[in-house]
Each structure stands twice: as structure tokens, then as C-alpha cells.
Amino acid sequence: MATVLSIWIFIGLLFSSAVAAQRSFFPAAIPLAVRSPHFSVWYQNTAGGQPLPNSWPFFWNGPIIGWAGRIRVDEVTYSWMGDDGIWNSTAIVVDIQITPTRSIFVMQAGPMNVTVTYLSPIEPSDWVNQSIPFSYVSVEAQSLDGATHNVQMYSDISSELVTGIRPSGTQGGAAVRWQNNRTAQTLYHETEPETLQQYTEISEQAQDGRGYYAMALSPGLTWEIDTDVVCRHQFANTGNLTNTQQATFGPMGQPWYVFAIAMDLGTIQSTSSPVTWAIGYVRDPIAPYTTPSGVTEVRRPYWTTRYSDVSALIDAFVADYPAAHDRALALDERILADAAKISPQYGDLVSLVARQVMSALDITVLGGSGNDGDVTDVKAFMKDIGSTLRVNPVESMFAAFPTYLYLNASLGGALLAPLLQSQDNLVGQAYAAQDIGANYPNATGTRGAHQQGIEQSGNMLIMMYAHARVSGDGSLLSRHYDTAKRWADYLVNNTLTPLNQDSADGLTNPNMTNLAIKGIIGVKAMAEISRATQHDSDAQQYDSRATALAGSWLSLAESSDQQHLLGQYGDQSSSAMLYNIYADLLLNTSLISQDVLAKQTQYYNTLLQSAGPLGLYFDNALSDLKLASSAWSLFTAATVMDDGVRNQLVQYAWDRASFNKTGGQFPDVYDYTTGAISDNRGGRAGPALGAMFAPLALTVPNTTIVVSGSSPLGDNPGSPGSGNNPGSAESNDKPNIGAIVGGAVGGVVFLAIALGAGFFFWRRRRQQRARAAYHHKEDILEHPQPYEYGLASQREYSPNRYVDADTRRVEAGTTDHPTHPSLSDAQYASPYPIVGSSKARERAREMEQRYPMSPSGSAEPGPTTPRTPSSEVMSSGTESSSATGGSGVNTVSTTDLLGLRAEVENLRRVMQGIREERLDPPPQYGN
């Protein structure tokens, strides 16, 4: 048996080596179940880290989510998710594909090819479906050797979904309750904190929600609620669960109770349909929203308009899997086909961010009737995840807006609605508010004076008009006309020479070129808003104002040689990405001439020659911080007139997206020399990355604005999504095959070819980089980093690379910048395996807490005494847990496995040597 297992592992390693060489996109975090601001579960994919089969998923900002998956093949249990050591072996990941709606892990578990698909639906045209805070994980398996095999599947989730582990690894969590329940078609587990604390967060996990794990009832299904050790051993030993639950509740953790569902498939050659679990995190109500008259509305999730309770919701969601999967495929295909028209790598960017941008929203209604009727007064709330955590943060909405415009512009209207309502008749403040609350989900209303008047007024007017011209819904324009006019008048008076104005990027210097043009485009947007609402004399007035302002702006903004635009009027050394010009193209307002754009494009081209390894600053006024912004790089990319320059900007964002030497999700703001995430947050997992859709939003057609039509954004009944619905549009285009990284590797026979081709492409990429004058220090950056999993020796990286955002804000004089009650560095850093060795330490500490070692330090094997896996994990150190020799649970010794690895490494080196000698000249690097 041991020998058979070793052989399978060996073949698996060969597969993984081959595919690792072929893959090219290596984001440090991959979305698993990402549906709402409080339901955001990821896989940490850092170089030197562990593959999914021996890694715990984590909540976006760090805490582990105890979510485990197993497949038992001919009585041998393989892990496909979770790091507890209760398995005979781990499945071997051979490929990962990321599409806008799915993360797909192709693995090998002994004689079976196992495909694990994490699907977080994006349903832009059906707001009931979009608002359902559930995701699917489904597993398919096919025999690799043609024979039939006896197969069972298992997965469980712990209460970490509803409370989260306490910061700094303190013991246990809140007391939790649970129950198992079923409907006619579905079995589900429910867990919740014993004390629900409404609208409260701890480490950004909500404390007022319920967690669910569900599966369609069918023969072969068994379930259990007990400790992790009991449930997982029960499955490993028997392939079935006991259909029983622990009657006594406990704390979340110590011991770790889990909610398990297993499926016995019997003897099969392949699964006839995927085995699918539904995982959900439900909050109801969503948010308290204080209206301008001081009434606090209790906002409920949009799905409550169709489903009267959670069991009906779960039933529908579980039964909908095949159709939801089809819709997801169609949407992915559509997005990737559109993305392929921009550049080859662009599809990866939109795929990585689409789920998180949609998940930043909670779509709500007042009431919720459960009868699918009168959907009125829809409001969407956005959490500024990964950044300030505010409610409907206007500058992040502005960055995210291209995604909503592209997917369904009406979403933008639902987001604008509460901001606009809050500011009608707001006395004494001529400019727009920054948000409607400092701490999600408390939408307490506007918060008084601030220094971002131009920034936020410009953002609001641009978004109002953008929403209306793409959706055709002019109801917000007419209802809030006076408010818009107040902001436009403010801009007319103030935007040309911004003084005492902050940008949302933390800049405070006077006369920012980029800020000024945003305000001017805002004035022009007001002219269009006036026109659409038949205020013709206003339209003429704002038109002429905007034109005059744009003319003055150009004379102030141009460099003395008139060859490019400055970052700050008159300062010839100033230089910035003038990303706000994007709005001029988006709205087709044509304030900036083609000639100016062409010269600016050339200028960016010149700047890019001396960009950092991971991109270009967005403003050299912040050059000491070496900050790049992926969002503003993409806005800028969408404005340039040369595809080469555009693609280079896209490439830099992609380079950072594919940079996996630091932990954490693809950030908006980062250090372009080291990749370090600004502020240790940098907008990661948050909405601002919706800017990746900037080039695509320019392709969305506009439509006639109807002012009196029905709209759900207020008092008139109607249905959202009319006029712009690419999600369900037919498309005959093929998906971007390049973006869905090809995963098929036929067999061992092709290993050599695959390795060779892999290195060829890898090397070719390096040469392309060299041609693009890509100046970088090889010792810092060798990314993208192929998966090395446990094969790589742990590397040391400097831990202290994070930019201190508070320092930046103080320096920039913006001490009133909204900040969340801050967590200590340790709280952010500790769950993150940012540094190889500290990761190992963290892991060990975590495991120690979960599975304390017995005093003797040795485990007592035997089916009657469920053994804790601590000794195996501790003894195997940082090595892959599949190599836990001599433990009695695993049958391959460490030495055996290391031998196999050495063989594979040698083979790879030999192949690399051959390629280097025969195919390619050595890469040239610019210097």
C-alpha cells in the first residue's frame, strides 16, 4: 500500500512540476468564497507557502477559517483543503485557474484526477441572486488509470466563519450554537454566536451573522456535528459520518467543533455530476441607515424580497447550482472575450478582482416581503474593505465604478442613492460628502466638513452622469438636481486653482493638475445632467463654464515646453498620472484634445522607461514613498493613445497582481520597488480594484436617459438592470484561452516536452521583460514565482517593509483622514505568512493552540482514541505535511519523499540546462 501511494505521489509531483513551469499567473491570494463585505474567504498562495490541500483558508484580513475538504479513494484519505494532518496524504495540485467567478484547483489524489471548483456567483442582472451571501464548492473526480475506484467525499466548516479567531492567537472565541436541519431537498448546518451583537465587528468579522453549510439531499449523504478530530477521523476510517450532533454547545475553538457533510459515491470511474456544498454567511438586517430627517431605517438584504426565510433561500440556492454554474460560465466567457481584445494579460486582472468588487456591496431594501413583489427603495452599501472601512466611500466607488458600469450600471445607481438622499437640503456644505458613515455597516449619514470638496464633488457628478447615460435611468438626476447643481457651483468657483484641497490619495499640495481636471469634468457632467433633465439654460451655462475652465486649465497645466502636463501647475519637476482624464473619455465629454492626449501618452512612455520593477508612481510628490496604484495605472492605461503604452501599464498592474512574495491580496497601493502593500492594507480585497475594468467600461454603449421612467432607486416600483445587461447577453465569442491557463497535461510521457515548453515560455517572458527595459534587481524580484510549495527551501525576506500610512497622513497634513480603530501591526501581520520563517513559526503556534501536544510529545495511535495531529505537524516542521514520516498515519517516510523531490529537482535542472544550451541565448537585462 505504501509503495502504491509513493508512486502516485511521485507521478503527482511530476505533474505539478510540469504545470508549475507552464503557469504564469501567481497571485498571492486567490478568492475561494467571496460574496459580501463580511463573507470573504481566500487561499493564501504565497511563494514558499503551502498548497491548498495543506493550507487553511483565511478571512480577507488574516484570521484562519477552518474549512476542510477530503476525498477518500479506495480507503485512502487525501486532503484537498485544510491543514490538520488528519489524512493519509494530500492531493497534489497540478493547476489553478482563475476566472471572474471561479477559482478552479485541479489536483491528483492517488488514482483520481480531482477538480475542486470554488464558485462565487456574480449575478449583475438579478439582484436577488446577487444579494445571496452563499458560494459553492464542488468536486469532480475521474479515474486516471481507467479502473473504477471506491470514492467518498467530505467537507466541513468550523464556527470561525461566524466569530473569527481572536487577535494575536488568543484562546478560543465566543460561545457558539449550532443545529442541523433539513428541508424537503436540502440538508444544512447552521451556526451562530450565542450572543449576536448587532452591527458589530471584531477584526472586521461581523458578530451578527449565521453560518451555513448545505448540500442537496441524495443517497450517500451523511453528516455530523462534532469536533474536527472526531468528524475527520470518522470519515477517514469509515467513509461515512454518523448523522449525529453534539448536543452540548461550546466555544468557537478548543475543541474545534465542525459541521461536516460527506457523500459516498460508491465504486465509480468518474463523478456523474459534481458533489457540491453550499457555504453561506447570512446577516439580516444588513445595516442601519439614518435618513436626513433622522429616522434610522433597518435595511434588509435584497434576497428577502423573494425568500421569506433562510431555509427557503438555501433550498433555492442549492437547487440552482447547475443553472448558476451555466450562468457563471457565460459571464466568464463574455468578460474574458472582451478582455482579450485589450491585451493578453488583461483577462487575468479582471478575473482576479471581479468577485471582490461585487462582494464589497450589500444590496438592501426596506422591509422585505418574501413575495417577490414591490421592489422599491433599493439602496446598496459598500464597505471600503482593505482600506478605510467606511460606508459608501466616494473615492473607492469612483475607482470601482468601471466594474459596475460594465456589469450593470444600475448597481452604481443603488450605491449613489443613499449618498444623494443624505445630501439633499444639506445646509452649509456646498461640496459633496466623502461617505455616509465611518464604520461599516453603520450608515449614520454625512459627517460634516472635510478637505476633499473638489475630489468628492467631482466624483459624485461624474458617477451620477455615468450611471444615467449607461443605464438610461435619469431618476436620480431629476430627484437630486438641486444637490448636483450645488456641487457644480462649488466646482465652478473652486476647481481651477485648488487651494487647501486634499486628494483622496493623500496629496495636499496646491494646484494639483489632476484634481483640477476632475472638478472641471464634473462641471461638464453637470451640463449633461442639466440637458438630460431639460434644464436647458443651466446646460448652456455649465457647458460654457466647463469649456472656459478646460482652456485655462490647459494653459496652467502644461509644461513650459508644452509637451506634457505637470503634476502641479508651474512646477516643471512635478509629474503625475493624470488618471482623472479617464472620466472625460468615459463620459465622452471631450474636454481634453486628442493632441494633448497624444503628447501625454508619449510622456508616459518616457516615464515608463525608468519605472520601478513593479510600476510607476501615480504622483512624484509622493516619490519618497515609492507608491504605485494599480487602480490609477488602469485608469491611466484607458486614456493613452498608444496600445504599447497601455499594455505596459496593464503589465505593471499584472506584475503586482502576480507577485507572491508578500502575503495578502492584490493591493491597490503598494511600493513599486518591493511590492510591499501600503499601509499593510492598500485596498487589498476591496472595491477600488474595480478600476481594473476601466478599459472595458469604455466599450459599454450609452443610451438615452429617461427621466420619468420607473426606477427602483427611490419611490417608484420597477426592476433594476434594464438597458445594460452584459451578464445575460448572448455572445458567440470564445473565452480567452490564454487567460484560463491551460491545464491539461496528458501523462508522464509528455513530461519532458512539457518541462521544456514551460521553461521556454518562462524564458521568453523574461526576455520580453528585458526588451521592455525592465530594470530590476534580480535578487529582489524573480517573480512571477513558480509554485514551489514544499519543494522550495524557505526564504528569508525582510519583514519591515510596510509603508506606515499614518506617518504618511500626518506628513501630508491630513490627520482627519478617516481611519478605522486601528489594529496593531501584529494583528495584521500575525496571520500572514509574509516571511518564510515567521510563517512557519506562526503556523506552529497556531497548530500548538489548536492541537496541544501531549506531555510526552508522542501521539497515541488507534481508532478508539482520536489522536490530535499536533505531533505530526510539529515533527514535520515546515515540510509539506504529506511527508510526515513514521507517524503511523502517513505511510511515506520523509526520506523517501525527499529522495523523490531531489529526483524531480534534478530532472528539472537537467531540462533547464538543455533548454539553455540549445534554444535560447541568455536573457539580456537593461541596466
Ligand X SMILES: *[C@@H]1O[C@H](CO)[C@@H](O)[C@H](O)[C@H]1NC(C)=O
Task: Please report, as ranges, the residues that interact with ligand X according to CB under 6 A.
Answer: 1, 5, 76, 88, 106, 113, 115, 140, 144, 152, 179, 181, 199-201, 236, 238-240, 264, 309, 311, 430, 439, 442, 489-490, 493, 743-745, 889, 891
- Cβ count within 10 A of residue 449: 10
The closest of 48, 11, 244 to 660, measured between CA atoms, is 48
Nearer CB in complex with ligand X: 282/409: 282
Shortest separation between residue 74's beta carbon and ligand X, angstroms: 8
Q: Exposed/middle/buried for 811, CB within 10 Å: 0-12, 13-18, 19+? A: middle
The closest of 137, 141, 273 to 214, measured between CA atoms, is 137
Shortest separation between residue 232's beta carbon and ligand X, angstroms: 9
Shortest separation between residue 4's beta carbon and ligand X, angstroms: 8
Tell me how far apart the terminal alpha carbons of the chain are, to the nearest angstrom.
55
Nearer CB in complex with ligand X: 113/819: 113
Nearer CB in complex with ligand X: 88/422: 88
Nearer CB in complex with ligand X: 489/905: 489
Q: Exposed/middle/buried for 302, CB within 10 Å: 0-12, 13-18, 19+? A: buried
Residue nearest to ligand X (CB): 239
Nearer CB in complex with ligand X: 18/557: 18
On the CB side of 70, CA atoms within 13 Å amount to 35
C-alpha cell at 568: 502641479
Shortest separation between residue 88's beta carbon and ligand X, angstroms: 4
Nearer CB in complex with ligand X: 485/775: 485
Shortest separation between residue 636's beta carbon and ligand X, angstroms: 31
Report which DSSP code applies to 27: -
Report which DSSP code applies to 182: E
> Could you tell me which residues come within 8 angstroms of residue 537 by beta carbon, excluding any fewer than 6 positions away?
none
Shortest separation between residue 863's beta carbon and ligand X, angstroms: 7
Shortest separation between residue 798's beta carbon and ligand X, angstroms: 33
**CA trace torsion 427, 429, 432, 433 (10° rounding):** -90
Shortest separation between residue 528's beta carbon and ligand X, angstroms: 20
Nearer CB in complex with ligand X: 265/653: 265
DSSP string, 264-316: EEEEESB-SS-EEEEEEEE-SS-EEEE-TTS-EEEEEEGGGGT-SSHHHHHHH
**CA trace torsion 12, 17, 19, 23 (10° rounding):** 140
Shortest separation between residue 488's beta carbon and ligand X, angstroms: 9
Could you give the 3-state DSSP secondary structure of residue 380?
strand
> Could you tell me which residues come within 8 angstroms of residue 651 by beta carbon, excluding any fewer than 6 positions away?
343, 345, 772
**CA trace torsion 302, 308, 314, 320 (10° rounding):** -70
Shortest separation between residue 565's beta carbon and ligand X, angstroms: 26
Nearer CB in complex with ligand X: 144/258: 144
The closest of 279, 343, 292, 2 to 137, measured between CA atoms, is 279
Shortest separation between residue 847's beta carbon and ligand X, angstroms: 18
DSSP string, 82-127: --S--SSEE-EEEEEEE-SSEEEEEEEETTEEEEEEEE----TT-H
Shortest separation between residue 877's beta carbon and ligand X, angstroms: 21
| Rounded Cα distance, 91 and 68, in Å | 13
Nearer CB in complex with ligand X: 361/745: 745
Q: Which residue has the cell 534534478?
A: 906
Q: Answer whether 656's CB lies under 8 Å from 667's CB.
A: yes
Nearer CB in complex with ligand X: 47/229: 229
Nearer CB in complex with ligand X: 205/575: 205
Calculate ∠ Cα 845-279-12, nearest 5°.
65
Q: Which residue has the cell 470573504?
A: 40
Nearer CB in complex with ligand X: 91/705: 91
Shortest separation between residue 133's beta carbon and ligand X, angstroms: 17
Shortest separation between residue 213's beta carbon and ligand X, angstroms: 15
Nearer CB in complex with ligand X: 96/622: 96
| Rounded Cα distance, 639 and 565, in Å | 14
Nearer CB in complex with ligand X: 44/103: 103
Nearer CB in complex with ligand X: 70/766: 70
Could you give the 3-state DSSP secondary structure of residue 192?
strand
DSSP string, 386-407: TTT--BS-HHHHHHHHHHHHHH
Shortest separation between residue 179's beta carbon and ligand X, angstroms: 5
Nearer CB in complex with ligand X: 365/389: 389
- Cβ count within 10 A of residue 433: 23
Residue 418, CA distances (Å) to 453, 480, 571 in order: 18, 11, 40
| Rounded Cα distance, 388 and 505, in Å | 12
Nearer CB in complex with ligand X: 201/671: 201
Shortest separation between residue 441's beta carbon and ligand X, angstroms: 7
Shortest separation between residue 93's beta carbon and ligand X, angstroms: 12
Nearer CB in complex with ligand X: 199/761: 199
> Could you tell me which residues come within 8 angstroms of residue 910 by beta carbon, excluding any fewer than 6 positions away?
none
Shortest separation between residue 889's beta carbon and ligand X, angstroms: 5
Q: Which residue has the cell 448558476?
A: 324
Tell me what percent of the chain is helix, strand and coil, each rounded to the nearest 5: 40, 20, 45
On the CB side of 842, CA atoms within 13 Å amount to 23
